[in-house]
C-alpha cells in the first residue's frame, strides 16, 4: 500500500515533555514495539529537547541517550527511527551514536528565523547518509514569506523535508494553510506540519496542513506532548482513513498501543488537556515546552502561571530561553512586593 501521508509518532520525544523526560528505557521499548507492530511509518525518540537536552536547563532525563537508543532499536524492525537535534544542544558524538544504533532520520530544529545555523548539520547528515528533515519552530512568529525564505535555506542545505512547526499551538487553520501551501508550491523537497493542541485545533490544523500540501505530519499517542499535547495519533489515523487517505498504520493497532501500552504509564498530572494554562500558551504564542517549567516557577514565587505566560508572550520568547521564566517570575514577584528576585528553593 502506498501511503498518501507519512505519519511520524512523537510519543517518545515530544511526549517526554509531559512526563518530565522520565520515561524509562523499558517503557520506551514497550511503546516503540507497539508502534512498530502497528505499522507506524516513523518513530522518533530522544529527550524532549532533542539529543543532549538532558540538563539542568531543560530537565534531566531518566536515562542516557545510549540507553534509550539501545532499548528502542531492539524492537523496531519496520518503522524508521528518527532522532531530534537542536543546534547548540545536541552534539556530533550523540548523532554518531544514533547512527551506530540504527537511526534512519535526523530532524534538525531551529527557530523559524534562524535556519542559517543548521547548514553544517545538514551537510554532516548527508555525509552520514541519514534522511534529513528541517523543523522551523514557532512558525506562527513569522509571516508565510519569511517561513518560505527560511525553508529554502534548509532545502539548499540538503533537507529532504521541511516542517512548519506550530510549537506554541497558536495557529488557526488559515495560518497553517497560508504557510504550508506556500512551501508546497515553492519547494522541491517535501513539506511537513507539526501541531500542538493548545487552542484545541491539533487535529483540525493537521488536516488543514495535509489539504494544503503537507506530505508528512506528526502526532502522539493519547495526544501526549508539551503544552496541551500534540495531535492525538490514534484519532489522526482514524480521521485520515475516514477522510479517504491511505495511511500505513493499522487503526486498531495504534488504538491498542495508546490504550493498553501507554495509558498505564501515565498519571492524571501527565495527561494532556486544554486547561487555562495551556489555552493561554496558544493564545499568547508561548513555546509549549515552557508550560511545566512555568507552573513550577509560579508555585515557587506564589504567582498565577497565566500572568507569567502573558508576560513571556509579550516578550516574544523562543525555544532555548527557558531560563527567562525564572527571571520574569522573580521580577514580577518583586514588583508585587512578594518574594525578592534572588529567592531560591
The average pLDDT across 105-122 equals 96
Is residue 344 pLDDT above 60, yes or no?
A: no
17 flagged as catalytic? yes
**Sole residue written with cell 520568547:** 317
**Cα 305 to the center of its chain, rounded Å:** 22
The radius of gyration of the chain from alpha carbons, rounded to an integer in Å, stands at 19
**How confident is the model at residue 345, as a pLDDT?**
40
pLDDT by residue (tens digit) across 53-74?
998 878 899 999 999 999 999 9
β strands within 122-175, DSSP E: 131-137, 161-165
Q: How many Cβ atoms sit within 10 Å of the Cβ of residue 278? A: 24
Q: Kindly report the pTM of this predicted structure.
A: 0.91
Select which of 17, 121, 194, 196 is catalytic: 17
Mean pLDDT is lowest, of 27-31, 201-205, 279-283, 291-295, for 291-295
Q: Rounded to an integer, what distance in angstroms lies between the CA atom of residue 217 and that of residue 204?
A: 12
Is residue 340 pLDDT above 80, yes or no?
A: no
Q: Is 131 helix (H, G, I), strand (E, B) or coil?
A: strand
Domains in the chain: ranges and CATH: 6-265 (3.20.20.70), 289-335 (1.10.8.60)
Amino acid at each position: 500500500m502506498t501511503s498518501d501521508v507519512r505519519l511520524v509518532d512523537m510519543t517518545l520525544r515530544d511526549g517526554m515533555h509531559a512526563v518530565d523526560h522520565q520515561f524509562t528505557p523499558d517503557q520506551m521499548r514497550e511503546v516503540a514495539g507497539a508502534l512498530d507492530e502497528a505499522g507506524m511509518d516513523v518513530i522518533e525518540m530522544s529527550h524532549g529537547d532533542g539529543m543532549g537536552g538532558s540538563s539542568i536547563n531543560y530537565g534531566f532525563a531518566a536515562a542516557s541517550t545510549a540507553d534509550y537508543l539501545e532499548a528502542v532499536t531492539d524492537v523496531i524492525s519496520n518503522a524508521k527511527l528518527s532522532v531530534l537535534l537542536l543546534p547548540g544542544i545536541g552534539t556530533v558524538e550523540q548523532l554518531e551514536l544514533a547512527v551506530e544504533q540504527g537511526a534512519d532520520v535526523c530532524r534538525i530544529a531551529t527557530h523559524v528565523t534562524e535556519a542559517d545555523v543548521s547548514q553544517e548539520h545538514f551537510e554532516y547528515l548527508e555525509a552520514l547518509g541519514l534522511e534529513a528533515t528541517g523543523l522551523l519552530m514557532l512558525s506562527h512568529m513569522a509571516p508565510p514569506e519569511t517561513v518560505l525564505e527560511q525553508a529554502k535555506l534548509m532545502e539548499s542545505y540538503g533537507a529532504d523535508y521541511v516542517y512548519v512547526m506550530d510549537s506554541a499551538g497558536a495557529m488557526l487553520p488559515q495560518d497553517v494553510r497560508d504557510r504550508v501551501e506556500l512551501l508546497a508550491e515553492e519547494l522541491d523537497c517535501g513539506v511537513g506540519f507539526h501541531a500542538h493542541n493548545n487552542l484545541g485545533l491539533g487535529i483540525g490544523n493537521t488536516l488543514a496542513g495535509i489539504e494544503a500540501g503537507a506530505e508528512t505530519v506528526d502526532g502522539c499517542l493519547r495526544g501526549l506532548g508539551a503544552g496541551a499535547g500534540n495531535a492525538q495519533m490514534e484519532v489522526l489515523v482514524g480521521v485520515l482513513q475516514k477522510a479517504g487517505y491511505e495511511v500505513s498504520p493499522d487503526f486498531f493497532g495504534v488504538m491498542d498501543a495508546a490504550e493498553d501500552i501507554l495509558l498505564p504509564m501515565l498519571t492524571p498530572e501527565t495527561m494532556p488537556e486544554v486547561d487555562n494554562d495551556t489555552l493561554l500558551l496558544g493564545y499568547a504564542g508561548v513555546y509549549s515546552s515552557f508550560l511545566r517549567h512555568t507552573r513550577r516557577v509560579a508555585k515557587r514565587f506564589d504567582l498565577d502561571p497565566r500572568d507569567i505566560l502573558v508576560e513571556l508572550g509579550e516578550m516574544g520568547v523562543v525555544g532555548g530561553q527557558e531560563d527567562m521564566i525564572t527571571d520574569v517570575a522573580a521580577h514580577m514577584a518583586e514588583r508585587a512586593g512578594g518574594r525578592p528576585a534572588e529567592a531560591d528553593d
